A and B are shown apart, each in its own frame.
Chain A
Amino acid sequence: MEVFRLMKRKLSLLLVFILLTGVLAGCGGGDVSDDPSPQDEVEIAYYAYNSEPILNWDPSVMFSNGIIVLNNIYETLLRFDPKTKEFDYLLAEDYSVSEDGLTWTFNLREGVKFHDGTEMTAEDVKFSIDRTMELGKGASYIWAAVSEIVAVDDYTVEFKLSYPSPLDLVASSPYAAFIMSKDAVENAEENWFENANEAGSGPYMLESAAMGDEVIMTTFEDYWNGWEGDHFDKVIIKKTSETSSRRQMIEKGDADITQSLPSEDVEALKETDGVEIVVEPSFTNLIGFFNTEKQPLDNPKVRQALSYAFPYQDVVDYAVGGYAKQSIGVIPFGHWGHSDDLFQYTKDLDKAKELLDEAGIQDGELKLLLTYMSGDESEKKSAELYKAELSKIGVELEIRAMPWETQWEMAMNEDPAERQDIFIMYWWPDTSSPYSWLYSLYHSEEEILFNMSYYSNEEFDTIIDNAAEISGTDIEKAEEEFIKAQEILIEDSPSIFMYDKEEVWAINSTFKGFEYNPSYPLVVFFYDTYRSK
């Protein structure tokens, strides 16, 4: 018995010892990466992302964050560069469009290999887009104009349209335009995409993925553009939802690039050695839609008055920490179709009061309900600043935070009186065309979808429809028309054009080659980037 007790005592001592050594060993954990290993020369890029990198691996369906991953693994026929308004040729070498704008012919790049080793042909392109259209999920509607896709020969694809549409912009969309290996997808077992697999031709291949947490990608040796020059060997995109964690990782150089930091953190990082802050335009803007089917908001004068009462500069300064610009028109800065010459409302309470008087609105008579998406701090602050201004001109504003779906449902109520008076919403383009804003938000709708002003103006509809049709063949002329359409909008003011958001990136100074393309929101094209110490 005594022996047993002694053993027990010794055992517990041993246990404590093991635990202690464990703790000590653990404390040394920070320098694990210094351990010599054969793969030390491997250059790794690290993107600390604020949300799940990807939730849906199906390139036909994915219509969310996942573009930050898929745009490195898959390629599209073209890529749009909003700065030059020109296209980069990826899987297509060139393309042409018939005079009526109804037949688009793409000549494909030869010798492109998919990650499964098969070579890309016209069949793959036809298969990919057909599949996306047939599934009918996600952003597949961007192909709505396409009636038939013909593989003319191995390297020529013809898209036949039922009405003119800028197919080059569609084919360069960040969503639903990916080309995948027909062979790989057809022979895939059930739930192949769901279990994190890919069939792309892009510079990086999927190495491993932890669902909703991180994605590791590695170079694809046979990439058609080759691996000459400096590139990263591997890429990590990891969910890091805490802003304080993202900031500390950038400060210490553990992460190479991140975004969506609060403005206080951005200010602090500006002073940090080895970190660069880059502010870029984004194509996301915040719009406040008036319920134009409800009295007295059906009166343009009242809407103009309310547009004059909005504290644009305060909202930019305090609601988004200065990282935005007051909108001019509905198309954001840097996007084609934007014009600095358009009329811009400024805060002018006297003017607002005058217009309200003209419309016969008494002091204290107007009570409005504004809804915004719960959880969005910038929308909330903007609404509160607006409320303060409105109270000065005798307008009472009730602010209500709602989950997106609920807010949307309220806006679709059959009885206009039951809907909100002002609906705040962000918009960003699904294809890089002014039509994405002007059509989705202001074209007459039979069934309410995103036209939250319930705006309906035949003249406006005709102009943008025509502009959209010619934008595939004559982009300059189309741009003029889209600007003309915005003049009508600004006069009618169915909405407050609040601000165009800017994207703030915090980047490790050894991380080079990054150029933000706002047509592909938050995407880092890692093939272009490299490390330079």
Chain B
Amino acid sequence: MLVKNYIIKRLLLGLMVLFGVILITFFLTRVIPSNPAAQWVGPRATPEQIQQATVELGLDKPIYIQFIKYFKDLLSGNLGYSLRSKQPVINELKTYLPPTLELIFMSTILAVVIGIPLGVNAAKKKDKALDHFCRFFSVGAVSLPTFWVALFLQLIFYRWLDLLPLGGQLDTRIKMLYEIPDYTGFLFLDSLLSGNWVVIKDVFSHMILPAVTIALYPIGLVARMTRSALLEILSEDYIKAARSYGLKERLVLWRYALKNSLGTTVTVLALSIGYTLVNTFLVEAIFSWPGIGSYIATAVVALDYPAIMGVTLFSAFSYILLNLTADIIIALDPRVRV
């Protein structure tokens, strides 16, 4: 019961934060000196065209009325029209979101598959060579600038070794030769479902570099967190007891100790996904990945405020959702439950 109340409380709080974000971003994008109507009609518009666009976009009305209209539209799922492409922002998000989600999904898997074993083994071999390597790797992974890593990987794997493609999500030639069905909108999933190995290979090879680049930060974080959480638990009495029963060390480590440390790791992981989302903004631009990051990068430069707001709202929403998930995971832990 208590958990339920807690979750409801967090949900309401999340909604309030979301409203705050809408309010702030709306007014911020309006305070920035720019003329959306002039942008809407393009660089060489006549005054009549601009005047017409001002009315068309409702910019002649007082700002609070504009906000009420924006909010109303928002509730019905309408995020307005991009000033650059004149397309509904919601449609653009639908186009650009799946590639980004795929990337985040892949990098999260990498973080779990690489980060956790790394952390466990570092804890096991505390102060040995492996532990030092893990520390070195994690600190490096967290602190190296993402854009540098991205360019460096491109130079090695595309330019020098010629193993992986430079960027994009799919080789255009492959796309022209093979029919790729659109079941889900997620290219990787669709290619898997199509069962066409050439396409699967190509899509996968395009994903490796950006996914690894983005995964570095969560890998480092997860490894460090797993290690420190494990070390703490390994000094607990029940572990000593387990060991004194003569249980195999592997069993103690991976089954009893790791399970208890996972709460922290998962929380950190959930929060780092939020960071990953922001990180993709930079990485996507470098890898020409047709995702939300490339989209916002161009939108910001062009001051395309409906698009900026759309992405900001999405990011805020994801952050709140991830925080909520982390909170719930903690709340479900019987040790935390009061």
Binding site for B on A (CB under 8 A): 19, 22-23, 25-30, 32-33, 35, 37, 39, 44, 46, 51-52, 55-56, 63-64, 136-139, 141, 194, 207-208, 210-214, 216, 234, 236, 238-242, 244-245, 248-249, 251-252, 254, 375, 402-406, 408-409, 430, 447, 449-450
- B171, A32: Cβ atoms closer than 8 Å: yes
Which residues of B lie under 8 Å from residue A251 when comparing CB positions? 159
Residue pairs across A and B with Cβ atoms less than 8 A apart, 28 shown, are A27-B205, A29-B163, A30-B163, A30-B164, A32-B171, A35-B198, A37-B177, A39-B177, A44-B176, A52-B298, A56-B86, A137-B41, A139-B44, A208-B175, A210-B290, A211-B92, A239-B288, A240-B288, A241-B294, A242-B288, A251-B159, A252-B159, A403-B33, A403-B34, A405-B34, A405-B38, A406-B33, A430-B44
- A404, B43: Cβ atoms closer than 8 Å: yes
- A141, B46: Cβ atoms closer than 8 Å: yes
* Shortest Cβ distance from residue B180 to the other chain A in the assembled complex, whole angstroms: 11
Binding site for A on B (CB under 8 A): 32-35, 38-39, 41-44, 46-47, 49, 84-87, 92, 95, 113, 151, 154, 158-159, 162-168, 171-177, 197-198, 200-202, 204-208, 285-286, 288, 290, 294-295, 297-298, 301, 303
Which residues of B lie under 8 Å from residue A32 when comparing CB positions? 171, 174, 198, 201-202, 205
Chain B: CB-nearest residue to A27 = B163
Query: Which of A35, A239, A249, A375 is within 8 Å of B301, CB to CB?
Result: A375
Which residues of B lie under 8 Å from residue A19 when comparing CB positions? 113
- Bound-state Cα–Cα, A317 to B250, Å: 67
- Bound-state Cα–Cα, A139 to B41, Å: 10
* 5 more CB-based (< 8 A) A-B contacts, given A244-B151, A245-B288, A248-B166: A27-B205, A33-B173, A241-B298, A408-B38, A409-B38
- Bound-state Cα–Cα, A213 to B168, Å: 9
Which residues of A lie under 8 Å from residue B208 when comparing CB positions? 23, 26
- B86, A194: Cβ atoms closer than 8 Å: yes
- Bound-state Cα–Cα, A30 to B209, Å: 13
Which residues of A lie under 8 Å from residue B205 when comparing CB positions? 26-30, 32
- Bound-state Cα–Cα, A37 to B35, Å: 52
What 6 A-B pairs have minimum CB-CB distances, sorted nearest first? A29-B205, A26-B205, A405-B35, A26-B204, A406-B33, A55-B85
Chain B: CB-nearest residue to A405 = B35
- A245, B154: Cβ atoms closer than 8 Å: yes
- Bound-state Cα–Cα, A210 to B168, Å: 12
- A447, B151: Cβ atoms closer than 8 Å: no
- Bound-state Cα–Cα, A241 to B289, Å: 11
- B44, A136: Cβ atoms closer than 8 Å: no
* Shortest Cβ distance from residue A478 to the other chain B in the assembled complex, whole angstroms: 23
Chain A: CB-nearest residue to B288 = A240
- Bound-state Cα–Cα, A238 to B169, Å: 12
* Shortest Cβ distance from residue B276 to the other chain A in the assembled complex, whole angstroms: 20
Q: How many A-B residue pairs have CB under 8 A?
A: 143
- Bound-state Cα–Cα, A210 to B286, Å: 18
* Shortest Cβ distance from residue B41 to the other chain A in the assembled complex, whole angstroms: 7
- A449, B177: Cβ atoms closer than 8 Å: no
* Shortest Cβ distance from residue A12 to the other chain B in the assembled complex, whole angstroms: 10
Which residues of B lie under 8 Å from residue A240 when comparing CB positions? 167, 288
- A248, B159: Cβ atoms closer than 8 Å: yes
- A138, B42: Cβ atoms closer than 8 Å: yes
- Bound-state Cα–Cα, A251 to B160, Å: 12
- Bound-state Cα–Cα, A30 to B206, Å: 9
Which residues of A lie under 8 Å from residue B87 when comparing CB positions? 194, 211
Query: Which of A22, A63, A236 is within 8 Å of B172, CB to CB?
Result: A236
- A25, B33: Cβ atoms closer than 8 Å: no
Which residues of A lie under 8 Å from residue B298 when comparing CB positions? 51-52, 212, 241
Which residues of B lie under 8 Å from residue A242 when comparing CB positions? 167, 285-286, 288
A194-B86, A210-B290 given; A405·B39 CB < 8 A: yes
Query: Which of B42, B164, B303 is within 8 Å of A29, CB to CB?
Result: B164
Scoring A33, A139, A211 by chain B CB atoms within 10 A of each residue's CB, the highest score goes to: A211
* Shortest Cβ distance from residue B105 to the other chain A in the assembled complex, whole angstroms: 14
* Shortest Cβ distance from residue B177 to the other chain A in the assembled complex, whole angstroms: 6
- Bound-state Cα–Cα, A207 to B301, Å: 30
Query: Which of A28, A216, A449 is within 8 Å of B176, CB to CB?
Result: A216
- B85, A56: Cβ atoms closer than 8 Å: yes
- B201, A216: Cβ atoms closer than 8 Å: no
* Shortest Cβ distance from residue B191 to the other chain A in the assembled complex, whole angstroms: 12
Chain A: CB-nearest residue to B205 = A29
A29-B164, A248-B159, A252-B159 given; A449·B288 CB < 8 A: no
Which residues of B lie under 8 Å from residue A25 when comparing CB positions? 197, 200-201, 204
* Shortest Cβ distance from residue B34 to the other chain A in the assembled complex, whole angstroms: 5
* Shortest Cβ distance from residue A141 to the other chain B in the assembled complex, whole angstroms: 6
